[in-house]
């Protein structure tokens, strides 16, 4: 039996506008350009292909199945610019024949730079999938299928995934076939589904290449290649960008007719079927270990990281970006955090690539720059402004904290420090003491009290108990103080 597992990556970045050091605002992204591209791809790819897949699901009564991973940055753009596309994906989800996978929300390289940020973005994307499509993802695919042996323990630790999608790189597989299920060396629970890059790229890259010796590619010919896997594998994993249909391969190449006819040709073999990634994991056991000590990806012939880390500009830009993580998160400013995460999208680093791409022409449709150096300068200008915004916010927070601490010190200085509060009995005694009547002053003084005082006219003084004792008369103006301090004017 050969099961066909279609997985489509659906993504569009938030492209930067032309941003220089002289810009006074902090609006880094080209909203009009992003809207234009989103609507263009929606009309050429997303809407017609979604309709085609829905028709195939209905035609074959649920026997035709596919899987998607839609990045969070694209979901946000679809909400703003093309809600009908989002609705068409939701209609596909409602069929029960379409599975939605999890990845990093911002299609980032965070796995390579920050474990904490990587986990946070996975959780954010899971929540987005649950919100829009009512599914809890069970399969994980990393950005650009970037993978090495360090990834499975992180995914395993989350406890919510059953498998990871991986590039079937020859220099890792050796003599083995990608048409089986494997497992990582450091996890007994997770399974690995490997992309059959030869058959996938026949559709994604070579379909309209007239110099290819298999051109034109028809559905019956492709189905015969799938049939050849029977007895030599369990599953043919066809992983590709969704923009293959209508954008990378235009409608006049026959790509839609090919897809429309393919299920019928596949089903002609009685042992063939279509499965989602979760169904593949449930149906087939792992036959061996896929040990990847080196980092691999699905990009270009090299299938490594050179598309994003191949030169000093890319390495510097990524390092400076992730160096800001603690500072960005310390601001607790939602807009700063959102901008920082949009800058993480891998496309920004891809635009800085200086190597020649044998299969990279498909990316030229969406590259807004004339050169990799322009892409680097533009990115670093935006990043520098983001850093300045962080500094301003943190200085303000620090100043407020210092002012608050000073105010508290002043308030504490004004408040008398109380000793241990008196007991209730002591308070009661004090109250009783105050309420006790004052002793009556005797009419005649005893011997020890001296004689009654008289005024100068010989009458008794009117001084009462509590009056101050006699003081010498105040000096007249003509007198001088004995100490010489006071004198008359």
Instruction: Kindly give the pairing relationship between strand 191-195 and strand 181-183.
Output: antiparallel
Residue 47 neighbours by CB distance under 10 Å: 16
If DSSP codes are grouped into helix, strand and coil, which group holds residue 362?
helix
| Cα distance between residue 182 and residue 45, in whole Å | 33
Residue 150 neighbours by CB distance under 10 Å: 15
| List of E strands, 177-250 | 181-183, 191-195, 235-241
Q: Is 144 a catalytic residue?
A: yes
Encoded tokens for 376: 């680097």
Is-contact 190 163, C-beta < 8 A?
A: yes
Residue 323 neighbours by CB distance under 10 Å: 13
CA distances from 136 to 62, 67, 106, 123, 438 (A): 20, 13, 18, 11, 85
| Cα distance between residue 215 and residue 150, in whole Å | 40
Kindly state the helix (H) or strand (E) to which residue 89 belongs, with its residue range. Answer: helix 83-93
| Cα distance between residue 89 and residue 102, in whole Å | 15
Residue 226 has φ and ψ, to the nearest 5°, of -65, -40
Q: What is the DSSP letter of 206?
A: S
Which residues have C-beta within 8 Å of that of residue 218, sequence separation ≥ 6? 258, 261
Which residue in the list 144, 167, 247, 265 is annotated as catalytic?
144
Active site (catalytic) residues:
144
């Amino acid at each position: 039996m050969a099961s066909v597992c279609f997985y489509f990556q659906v993504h569009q970045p938030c492209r930067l506008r032309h941003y220089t050091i002289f810009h006074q605002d902090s609006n880094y992204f080209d909203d009009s350009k992003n809207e234009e591209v989103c609507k263009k791809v929606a009309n050429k790819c997303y809407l017609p292909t979604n309709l085609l897949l829905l028709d195939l699901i209905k035609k074959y009564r649920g026997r035709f199945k596919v899987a998607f991973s839609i990045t969070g940055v694209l979901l946000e753009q679809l909400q703003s610019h093309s809600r009908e596309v989002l609705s068409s994906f939701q209609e596909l989800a409602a069929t029960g024949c379409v599975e939605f996978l999890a990845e990093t929300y911002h299609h980032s390289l965070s796995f390579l730079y920050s474990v904490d940020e990587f986990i946070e973005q996975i959780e954010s994307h899971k929540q987005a999938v649950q919100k829009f499509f009512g599914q809890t993802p069970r399969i994980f695919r990393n950005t650009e299928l970037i993978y090495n042996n360090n990834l499975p323990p992180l995914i395993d630790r989350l406890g919510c995934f059953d498998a990871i999608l991986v590039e079937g790189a020859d220099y890792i597989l050796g003599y083995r076939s990608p048409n089986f299920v494997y497992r990582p060396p450091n996890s007994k629970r997770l399974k690995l589904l490997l992309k059959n890059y030869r058959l996938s790229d026949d559709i994604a890259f070579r379909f309209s290449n007239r110099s290819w010796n298999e051109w034109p590619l028809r559905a019956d010919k492709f189905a015969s290649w799938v049939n050849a896997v029977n007895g030599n594998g369990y599953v043919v994993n066809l992983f590709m960008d969704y923009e293959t249909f209508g954008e990378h391969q235009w409608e006049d190449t026959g790509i839609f007719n090919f897809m429309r006819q393919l299920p019928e040709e596949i089903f002609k073999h009685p042992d063939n079927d279509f499965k989602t990634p979760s169904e593949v994991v449930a149906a087939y056991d792992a036959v061996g270990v896929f040990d990847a000590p080196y980092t691999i990806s699905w990009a270009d012939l090299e299938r490594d990281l050179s598309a994003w880390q191949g030169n000093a500009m890319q390495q510097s830009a990524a390092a400076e970006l992730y160096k800001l993580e603690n500072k960005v998160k310390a601001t607790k400013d939602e807009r700063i955090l959102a901008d920082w995460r949009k800058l993480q999208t891998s496309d920004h680093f891809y635009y800085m690539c200086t190597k020649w791409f044998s299969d990279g022409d498909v990316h030229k449709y969406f590259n807004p720059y004339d050169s990799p150096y322009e892409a680097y300068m533009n990115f670093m200008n935006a990043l520098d402004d983001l850093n300045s915004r962080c500094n301003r916010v943190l200085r303000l927070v620090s100043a407020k904290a210092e002012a608050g601490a000073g105010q508290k010190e002043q308030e504490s200085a004004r408040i008398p420090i109380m000793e241990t509060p008196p007991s209730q009995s002591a308070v009661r005694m004090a109250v009783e003491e105050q309420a006790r009547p004052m002793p009556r002053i005797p009419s005649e003084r005893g011997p020890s009290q001296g004689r009654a005082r008289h005024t100068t006219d010989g009458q008794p003084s009117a001084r009462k108990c509590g009056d101050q004792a006699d003081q010498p008369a105040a000096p007249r103006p003509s007198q001088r103080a004995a100490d010489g301090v006071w004198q008359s004017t």
